[in-house]
Structure formats: structure tokens, C-alpha cells
Chain A
């Protein structure tokens, strides 16, 4: 039995900000879902099932909040699933929803991911001490900084590469009305002069803490035929996981990331990602992760990723634009960040990315990762339906 092709026909986001004090959690998610329905010109009644994702429940202090959100998301009387796979969750959530369509269990599914981080303090929410286990240090930056340093040592990349990524992503964000950070007066000098937080990661090379939600409407061929705007078609999707810590783990370029990308490329018939993929939305919470993931995802040979960044290849007008939306460095409602990557990839191939549209984008990769560089989820979307 062949799989039903999956199309993205609606995308909706909130304007991501540090604190949405004007809405409840329900109000926040409903805003994104409503916009996705508007984009697809559908109503709540057209939705067969809801798949929701978010990162740890401690971030809002609500245990399994999907129970309380059932009404706001029009899920009453419908199936509702809640996914949690750490930072990769936004991507995984979209993939779980896509499988419901691919398996022909449902025709049209609403998938949504959110985080309302202003309800608590994300850094300390991630740093709860667990008896008899290695402390994760203060927040995610403390965990990832040594791995960035390892990448620099291994590749001999110049110290400035990270600041180039941050400068690019923050400028891209100025073209994205939904991005959290709009730093109109940003300069490379300002990025490089910002305070050192977790050596070698500076303040301006770090993601913000955001309130935001992102929603997509996924549907089958029949649904896509009715869509008012061009759909994005899913050509491949995969998840891979590996343990947090073990002897021989490569934190700089984890095997799970390589395997996940290889699976997606195989499904999509991609043999040369650097040439065949037109835009990439990758999960870069700390600037240096752009060159690291460029290698992990096969866009550059080992040790060469930073050269793509340094030579401007990943700029919005380069030949492999990375994070045209401004990326996680400009917007980070943690649980939603992966889905924003997936959704922005879809917007690119639908030609609906607005000012940050990559000209002629036909194939785009959405990428998310989480935990201790151990959970990966990715999808590749195209402007044309997949060959079946």
C-alpha cells in the first residue's frame, strides 16, 4: 500500500514576543490556529484531528495542557494527540500529524506547537537538579558551549564565524513580521562586542526566550486540490534519537542527525543536498550551530561548514539561504521553534514567505533538534507533488 501524499495548505503564526500578557495560553494557540485555518480557507469543522506539541510542561506550570486546550483548539469530539520530544518537538509533532494523513487515518489535520515562556523561567526550568545525575549546568547554553568549542578546535574555524551567523539571522528577522527580535540598529560590531555568556557564545549569538505558537493544516490530495493557495508537498520526513551521554558520542556531529538527514534525502530522492535544496530552515539556537549542522546535514564536508557561512553562501541572497526567517536566533518559543522551521520551509516552497522569500525556492528543508543533541526531526517539502 502506498502512502497518501501529504500537503501543507495552511500556515499560521503569532507575532512572537517576550511576553504575551494580553492572552491566555488558550488565546495564544487559538490565534495561530485561526490564522492557519484562514490561510487554508477552512473552518474548525473541516478539521478531523488535532496534534499538539510543546516542550516541558514546567515551562507554563500546566501538566498535559492539551487537556485544557481541547476547547480552544476545536478538538471536542475529535482525536487529540500530544507529542513531547524535547527541542525537536515542533518538528516531531508535524511528522506525527503528517503520518495520520499518510496512513489515511484522517483527511485533514491541524497541527500546532507553542510555548508561553513568560509564564516561568525557561533557563531554570531546564536546570532542575536531579539526584545522582550529572547537572546540566545553568540552562542550555552551558551544555552546548563546550561542543561549540570542540567544533572550533576540530575545524580551525576563525572566532568570528559565530557572529556572522547572528548578524545574518537578526537582519533576516527584520524582513519577517512574526519574528521576535527586530533589531533595526544591528551591526556586526555590536554582535561582536556583546557580553560573553558561555564562552565562546556571546549574548547576541544566543536565542531569545519567546511566547509564540505556530500551526499548520496538513491534508491529503483531495484537500490539496481544494486549497486556495499553492500547497507545499511533503517529500520526506524522519525522526532519529540517540542516548544523551555515552562513550564515543560525537556531540559536534551526532550520528542521529546524519542518519535522519540521510533517511529524508533517500525518501525525497535527494543525492546532492547542496545543489538540490533551495532553502534551509535549521534549528540554530546558538550561532555556531549553523556551520555545525551544515556539515551534519551533508551541505558541506566535515570541517568545511564554516567556510559556507564565511563566504556568504547562507545569506538570504546566497545560493543556499539558511534561516531566511531569522531562525531560532531571532525567535524561540522552544516547543514551537521546530514547527516554525517546518512551517517556514513550507512557506518558501509555497512562495508565501513575503519579504524573506527565497526567489524560486522549489525544495526546502525544515530541521529541528533537541535534548543533548540527541533528538532529530526533519522534513523536506517541495512545490511539486511527490512522485508516487
Chain B
């Protein structure tokens, strides 16, 4: 029999364009306090801790070691770190809880994009021999994908603009979001993408607490049970991929059981409007599903944390009783190369 594991608490920063006055650990500390306060747990009560962040954003090696000061790892803790979005840190923590080695886990992620030019920084993710030397930036690659979608008749520019407008309007109800309400769609950044089709650049952090079985029920009135979670990666070279589709998302969703029953809500990690079109198709989400009620990554996109925030927002919707079965998605790499899908459910009301 498999252990039941749930997200029992979620917290995040106010996402902002810059946070010059704060170090990573100073940005993270209040979020850790908040997520622990929601459950009444202290660091010493946590069975396993796992985080996600990137040295390339921080501009220094071993940047995650300082963040550990915010956790208060004394006496020593059982702890691990992925150089990935925090959604994958949550996945590692989920497997740890499945083994029975721990009953609770603290998962956090943070990223400060403001100190550098993030479009340039992300080019360092590309094939270092054949692609990275050309410095194709993240917006340009997303624009290739958007144009492929338009050429295939899957969307058009007004439809993309509508995705942007809906996301930021919904973010009006999310006090943490960076871009909220009416935001001008702007000029072309890289054709066919306008500034409004692209995510804001900003700094932020997020944390969740996982708990198993009865522990989850003690810590949370309505735990968000992880019914399934899976992640898959695709080929790196854009030339061998169909950019209008996301087979890795579809496969992860199948493995996570997403297609067994309809979801009522989905938090998709789609930093570009065009990527929501790809993901909706791969995940077979109809118009009846509320997509990104938080505003999604188009409203706040702290790199390395934005995927974990999708899981946190989906779980929080269940905690609040606004959703009974939610899908959460996270992505990494150029043009949705790697994707994670989780299905969360609340107990019947």
C-alpha cells in the first residue's frame, strides 16, 4: 500500500522586480517562518528538507549553502538540494516520504533574477558547443515556439493577448503577484511576442510543507493530497522537437493520473502566453477548467520558484475549499523541455 502524502501549507514572498536590499537568505527567511507558522511546526520537527535554486542566478558557486542559514540547520538536519525548480525538490521530498523515512518535509525555492540580465543568463542552459555560443535568448526561443503555433493555426496574436489579459486580471485577487490588473500588451519584444506575452522579471521565494497520512490531517484542516506526480524530459535540441506539442507534459500527466477524472482547476507554469496554448492541448483542459486563477507565471515568475508556486497555489485552492481536484504543472528548460505534473485532491466535503 502506498503512503498518502499531502501539501499541508504554502507560503510565498511578494514578488518584485528587484530586491536589492535583501540577500537570498533574507528574502527566504520570512517565507520559511510563515509556512512553519501555518502548521505550528518548528525546524526541529521537520523530517526532511529539500530546496531548489540556481548558482547561475546567484552568480556564485554553492549559493544554496547560505540559504541553509535561514532554515536553522542546527542540530544537523536531513537535507538535500536540486539545481532545479523547487517543484522537483518537492518531488524528491515526496519520494523520501514515500519510503517512510520521514513523515514531514519542508520544501523551498528561491531565485533573484534582478542582479543580472536573465535573458542572457538563460542562454547558458543551451548546448554549450553548438547553440550557447550563438546566445539565443529565452524570449527569442519562446517566440520561435509561438510562431510555430500560429503557423500551425493553433492560435493567433489576439488569442495570446487574451491569455495575458485574463492572467493579469485574475492576478488582481493575488496580492503577492508582481503584475496585476490592467497591463498594456505593449510592443513586440521578439515577433510575434509582445511584452505582454512575456513574464515579468523578478525576485521571489516560496515554501511548502508536505506531510504523510494522519500527520497531514493533524497539520491541516483540508490537506491537498498528492494523488499522482510525475515528470518527464524531452530532447534538448529544438530542431528535433515539435514545438507546438508537449509530449513530456502529456506523458507525465498520464503517469500522474490526470486523465482519470476531470480537474476543476489547473495551475500551469507557462511563462509565455503561447506556452499556455501548448499545455492546455497536452493536458486536454477544456474551457470549464479554471486555469491559473493566481495569475500564473505571467503575473509573477521568480525563476527556480515559479514551478513550486504552481504546486503551492493549487494546494492552497484545495486548502481554502475553492477546488476539489486540481492539476499543477512546472517546467524547466527552453520551450517547455522538461515538465512535471501533479494531481492534488481534497477530502470530499
Contacts and interface: CB of A to CB of B under 8 A. Distances in A.
Interface of A: 1-3, 24-25, 55-58, 60-65, 67-71, 75-86, 92, 95-96, 99-100, 102-105, 125-126, 128, 130, 132-133, 238-244, 246, 254-256, 259-260, 263, 371-372, 374-375
Interface string B48-69: 0100001110011110111011
A374 to B, nearest CB: 7
Interface of B: 1-3, 23, 49, 54-56, 59-62, 64-66, 68-69, 72-84, 88, 91-92, 95-96, 98-101, 121-122, 124-129, 132, 230-237, 247-248, 251, 332-334, 337-338
Given A244-B68, A246-B74, 9 more contacts: A3-B99, A63-B122, A64-B56, A67-B337, A75-B233, A80-B231, A103-B99, A133-B66, A241-B77
Contact of A71 (B59, B79, B235): B235
A23 to B, nearest CB: 11
A63 B236 contact: no
Given A25-B128, A99-B96, A241 B68 contact: yes
23 contacts: A57-B124, A61-B124, A62-B132, A63-B125, A64-B54, A64-B84, A76-B235, A77-B251, A79-B231, A80-B231, A81-B88, A81-B91, A85-B79, A86-B62, A99-B98, A102-B99, A103-B96, A125-B61, A238-B78, A243-B69, A374-B65, A374-B68, A375-B65
A76 B61 contact: no
Contacts of B338: 67, 70, 80
B92 A81 contact: yes
B232 A77 contact: yes
B46 to A, nearest CB: 12
A241 B1 contact: no
B345 to A, nearest CB: 19
A240 B79 contact: yes
Given A92-B80, A103-B98, A259-B75, A1 B2 contact: yes
Contacts of A79: 230-233
B90 to A, nearest CB: 12
B100 A1 contact: yes
B57 to A, nearest CB: 9
B121 A63 contact: yes
B294 to A, nearest CB: 25
Given A64-B84, A96-B80, A242-B74, A56 B62 contact: yes
A126 B127 CA distance: 23
B234 A76 contact: yes
A77 B61 contact: no
